[in-house]
Amino acid sequence: MHLVSKAQCRSRFNATHQERFGGLTETDLLAPMLDLSFQTYAGVNVGIVYSHGFLSDEQAFPGTFGGSKFEGDIDSVGGYLAKQWDCGFKVGATVAYSTADLRYENGRSFYDFDIVGTSVALGYARSFGEKKFGRNVFVDTSANFLYQSEEDAFYFLWMAKVGHSFSERFAAYGIFNLFHVIDFNGNYVIPEGYVGYHPFGDETWGETGAGFQAQLCHGFTFTAEATTPVLDEQFVATDSFQVRAGLNWRF
């Protein structure tokens, strides 16, 4: 009996651009990632992930000639366990350690943190029909429970994608993600550029949008998504949006 039956390495480059408050605040995040995983006993995948993020955040203040520009870096290393059955049901667990700092453009420190995050996920992913135009629908959804030590906070995330595979190489889908704060005991939050939309005073918020995935060649795939916040009056009223893209290589 072999404890490890399959090994796979994946590199990914993620890019995110976000605008808030009608374009008065802009955030860019570039995050290359390396993921080494093994398929072990009973089809359980075990993986180790490392990523480094480069953050740029620029804020303008209405009615003045001033503003602020921040730059930052984040390093994260972690591991995960995941299992998916043929019926589509899947479970997973992660733990990661991250350290980051946010600085003014002149180099003066603004905010830094060290954080341990853990999560448990229950989900379902299944494709129905042939991967041909007009003959296929797929669903990918999960319920995630997260803990973050810096904030001493618990979160619930429901993430869902529903789409259509037009061919073996191209698929498009709709997105709906719901976030809820279960418990929060901290005085600060992780900078917005690292976590996406973050409301002020709201315990529940979300995002909705659309995306696509294209297989460029053997082992290479490209994804692009665009979302806008929902269930958060402040961001909805100021025409905020986020676009993100990723280039993935499996080998």
For residue range 191-213, what is the model confidence (pLDDT) as tens digits? Answer: 444 445 554 556 788 889 999 99
- Supply the range of the domain harboring residue 128: 6-244
Who has greater pLDDT, 5 or 30? 30
Residue 27 has pLDDT above 80, yes or no: yes
| CB neighbour class for 123 (10 Å; exposed up to 12, middle 13-18, buried from 19) | buried
| 251 inside domain | no
Domain assignment present for residue 1? The answer is no
* Residue-wise pLDDT tens digits, 62-76: 555 556 788 888 899
What distance in Å separates the CA atoms of residue 4 and residue 21, rounded to the nearest whole number? 50
Kindly provide the b/e burial profile for residues 91-108, where b requires at least 16 CB atoms within 10 angstroms of the residue's own CB: ebebebebebbbbeeeee
CATH code (residue 168) = 2.40.128.130
Q: Is 69 contained in some domain? A: yes
Of 158, 144, 36, residue with least CA distance to 91: 144
Report the percentage of the chain scoring pLDDT > 90. 38
Task: Give the chain's domain count.
Answer: 1
In a domain, 197, yes or no: yes
Residue 232 lies in a domain: yes
Phi and psi of 41, rounded to 5°?
Answer: -55, 135
Whether 192 is covered by a domain: the verdict is: yes
Confidence label for 48 from pLDDT (cuts 50, 70 and 90): very high
- Domain assignment of residue 125, yes or no: yes
User: CA-to-CA distance for 14 and 93, rounded, in angstroms?
Assistant: 22
Does the residue 250 lie in any domain? no
How far apart, in whole angstroms, are the C-alpha atoms of residue 219 and residue 170?
A: 14
Q: What is the reported pTM?
A: 0.83
